[in-house]
Amino acid sequence: MSAFLDGALRPRLSVTLGVIAFALVEIAALCVFVTPDVVARLEPGVLARNVDDDGAALTHALVTAQREPARSAHVALVGASSMREAFWHIDTLRDSVADALEQPRETTLGAFNLTSGGQALGESLVVLGALPETPRGVVVLGIGPGTLFADRTDLQTRFEHPTSALAVDEMNAVARVLGMPERTATGLYFLDHLQFFVSRPQVPVWLALGAPEPRRHRYLGRRQWTDERWVERVDALRVGFEQRAQDDALVSAHLVALEQTLTHLQRQTQWRPILLEPPLAPRARPALTEARSAARARVAPLAARLGVPLVDLDAEAALVDEDFHDFTHLRSEEAMRRYEARLAALVARHLSEPNPSTVRP
């Protein structure tokens, strides 16, 4: 026993060299063995720093989607937290779409939830560009003043310090259009996303003990904003949107990047894009209608030119103030299911129509 303790506790030059060698070998092994294939085989929560780590959830959802077995059709939802909270579950949405199309569930229709809290429009476009091949698909992108009117400094931080491991080349392609910083691609997945992985040192613990299930909704069951909160927040939101809308160069760059991505989807894939304005509480409309109209005025001409639907489902889903926690996030399962039903009907309608971009005269 004393010999063991002597070996385990006494400092030695050989131990120092051994520790350095061990660390180098482990880092080399991480560079070689951490690949998208490996990440796709992990449980969804293993990469997550905590149950609300949407960056990890998006990373896992995308690499999993890219490795899904072939199906005859797909649906994908992309956008920020307002989109994430607008539907109950990607599987129930898929089932509703399959039922509307009178197709068997699961076996024919694949569905991907690629929403994440705080997802910038630039990140959404990278996700759209990384969608897997499909014989027929509908992808719904949530877009409104919250994402079109971005804060330049915040966006710069998102490109410099991404919270999800999206492909560096695709990130750089969008960054070039938006005038955002680019990163160096090494071709090694672990090194390309080093910031993402070193921010999540708990991975070995989750692997050993089992990872907690990621939380799907953040606002479920939460109370509505109080009157004081409304007064305090809605005006600040309005002012924020108006200020960010003044950055015409960035808004225009977003529209250029959006057009490139939508055109790519239409011409080179079988994905049919739909632009969806996220839910907006009736109570927030007086203050935020101007911002929403300003965003719509910029997006609608582009959507019309490309033949991409720009849709607002709030009225169809009969959303009322009681359905919302705040100005945009739904707070009850019932409201989410109601909105999801309208969303499923929209997706089913577009899935059942021939894609105009692929119809040849």
Q: Which span sits near another protein by CB under 8 A: 48-56, 68-76, 286-294, 351-359?
A: 48-56
Q: Which residue do the tokens 């994402």 mark?
A: 147
- The number of residues that bind another protein (CB under 8 A) is 47
Q: Which of 38, 41, 67, 161 binds another protein (CB under 8 A)?
A: 161
Examine residue 195 and tell whether it contacts another protein (CB under 8 A): yes
Q: Which two tokens stand for residue 160?
A: 């410099």
* Residues 283-322 close enough to bind another protein by CB under 8 A: none
Minimum Å gap between C-beta 109 and another protein is 30
Q: Which span sits near another protein by CB under 8 A: 46-54, 102-110, 258-266, 311-319?
A: 46-54
Examine residue 200 and tell whether it contacts another protein (CB under 8 A): yes
Contact status, residue 331 vs residue 224, Cβ threshold 8 Å: yes
In this structure, the number of other CB atoms found within 10 A of the CB of residue 95 comes to 16
Minimum Å gap between C-beta 139 and another protein is 22
Minimum Å gap between C-beta 340 and another protein is 22
Q: Which helix (H) or strand (E) holds 237?
A: helix 227-245
Q: Which two tokens stand for residue 355?
A: 């894609």
Q: Which span sits near another protein by CB under 8 A: 59-67, 107-115, 300-308, 326-334?
A: 326-334
Contact status, residue 143 vs residue 277, Cβ threshold 8 Å: yes
Q: Which of 14, 184, 226, 246 binds another protein (CB under 8 A)?
A: 14
DSSP classification of residue 71 = -
User: Could you give the 3-state DSSP secondary structure of residue 275?
Assistant: strand
CA–CA dist 320, 254 (Å, integer)? 31
Examine residue 159 and tell whether it contacts another protein (CB under 8 A): no
Q: Which of 105, 218, 264, 283 binds another protein (CB under 8 A)?
A: 218
Query: Quick one: 9 or 315, whose CB is closer to another protein?
Result: 9
Provide the pairing of β-strand 137-142 with 73-79: parallel
Examine residue 8 and tell whether it contacts another protein (CB under 8 A): yes
Contact status, residue 171 vs residue 195, Cβ threshold 8 Å: no
Minimum Å gap between C-beta 256 and another protein is 26
Site string for another protein, 114-133 (x = CB under 8 A): --xxx---------------
Contacts of 112 by beta carbon, 8 Å cutoff, 6+ apart: 61, 62, 65, 68, 74, 75, 76, 77, 90, 131
DSSP classification of residue 133 = P
Examine residue 20 and tell whether it contacts another protein (CB under 8 A): yes
Site string for another protein, 243-282 (x = CB under 8 A): ----------------------------------------
The secondary structure of 102-123 as a DSSP string is T--TTTSEEEEEEE-TT--HHH
Give Cα separations from 270 to 85, 132, 356, 358, 361 (angstroms).
Answer: 27, 10, 10, 8, 17
CA–CA dist 265, 258 (Å, integer)? 11
Examine residue 13 and tell whether it contacts another protein (CB under 8 A): no
Residues that bind another protein (CB under 8 A): 1-9, 12, 14-15, 18-23, 26-27, 49-50, 52-55, 116-118, 157, 160-161, 163, 194-201, 218, 233, 325-327, 329
